[in-house]
A and B are shown apart, each in its own frame.
Chain A
Amino acid sequence: MEELDDLKSIWKQQPPGIDAKNTDEIARMLQGRSTSIVTRLKRSVWFELAFTLISGIALATYGLYAKSGQLKWMVLTLSVIFAVYIFYYIKKLLLLSRYTLNETDLKTNLENLIAGLTTYLSFYKRSYTILYPVFFCLGLFFGAMDAGLDNFLHRFKQLSFLIWFVLITGIFMVGVFRITGWYLKKLYGDHLEKLKELLRELESIR
């Protein structure tokens, strides 16, 4: 039974317990949505892009029609940040579009997917390494505007406040970087490791 020819005759049978599909079901499948990792990534970036675009337009409209004052400038600044984010999402989509599944052999496919995901993840990491400190500084800036610049600066003359501020800033920054790193690893990092492991196995075949 263990010789290849014997196994071939067993293999030719219709597998037991399968859900055989009819032509109508297959036709319906062609209208379905893909669940491949790249398609899912693209879908989530498109969603984020649409959300940012709508929010940015709404904020800009509100800012332009608002009476002058701190709130107007805060809203306009936020809408400018959202506009920058649109380029960020377009760049992400361009990175993801480089990858096309299936057109090549398994090894090349794995290499392409690993390269694509690695570039995508490193871009993601680079961008939040820049954006989080920017957001933090903007938060401080708006806080200073709200409290009045003199009041705000006066607090920093108190040593206890300064220590507290540095401590909280450190905890916040380390926290958000770690959480984002963990989130990315959980979403795509483990998948990437698995792909690398498969490629190593293919490369070890001699």
Chain B
Amino acid sequence: MPPDSEQERYFINLVNEHQGLIHKVCMMYENDRDARNDLFQEVVLQLWKSFHTFRGDSKITTWMYRIALNTAISGLRKQGRKIQTEELNDYHLNVSDRESDNAEENFEKLQWAIRKLSEIERAMIMMALDEIPYDEIAETIGITQNNVRVRMNRIREKLRKLMNG
């Protein structure tokens, strides 16, 4: 299906270029493959609906995070699809027992650790890991920069404990 406008083509290329970000949000908030695909589609739809509001004041990734997180955390949510931390316990045992010297394993371990955090903490650490500045994280979440700084310290501490098992 060919895009029918210049703006639509631009948008599709933008999503294509940054789809890793959307995939990561879907992985952190949904457990099974179907639910992730549904969330991916919903995020793309919401991004498209809000595309006219993006004025370039912040990084494009900040804007994408805002929409994706709003959709994942408050907008979609079908019952029974949320990630339950109990489900992740065995995963940690499997990963921590292996030599985590390759990229994929490291990513899986990090993913496991992030999914053990609360939904709000997940949102904050994902943005921080994608180099979103603290002022833009604060603006996206709706709290002060100082609060972001304090909470990020706690999140890092939690991640350190989780990653070291």
Contact = CB atoms under 8 A, between A and B. Distances in A.
Contacts of A26: 12, 15-16, 19, 44
B45 A22 contact: no
Interface in A1-20: 1-2, 4, 7-8, 10-11, 13-16, 18-20
B58 to A, nearest CB: 12
A205 B156 contact: no
A46 B160 CA distance: 50
Nearest to A114: B74
A142 to B, nearest CB: 39
A10 B70 CA distance: 25
Interface string B4-47: 00001001110110011001100100000100111011101110
Given A36-B71, A101-B75, A103-B50, A29 B44 contact: yes
Interface string A14-34: 111011111110111111101
Contacts of A48: none
Contacts of B95: none
Interface residues of A, number: 50
Interface string B53-92: 1000000000000110111011111110000000000000
Given A7-B159, A101-B71, A36 B76 contact: yes
A75 B140 CA distance: 55
Interface residues of B, number: 70
A13 B103 contact: yes
A201 interface: yes
Contact of A106 (B19, B69, B126, B150): B69
B106 A1 contact: yes
Interface stretch (A51-59, A63-71, A154-162, A187-195): A187-195
Interface of A: 1-2, 4, 7-8, 10-11, 13-16, 18-24, 26-32, 34-38, 101-110, 113, 190-191, 194-195, 198, 201-202, 205-206
Given A1-B106, A13-B107, A29-B40, 9 more contacts: A2-B160, A11-B24, A20-B23, A34-B45, A101-B70, A101-B71, A102-B66, A102-B71, A106-B69
24 contacts: A2-B156, A2-B159, A7-B110, A13-B103, A15-B20, A23-B13, A30-B45, A32-B41, A34-B45, A34-B46, A35-B41, A38-B75, A102-B71, A103-B50, A104-B142, A106-B66, A106-B140, A107-B141, A191-B79, A194-B77, A198-B119, A201-B118, A201-B120, A206-B147
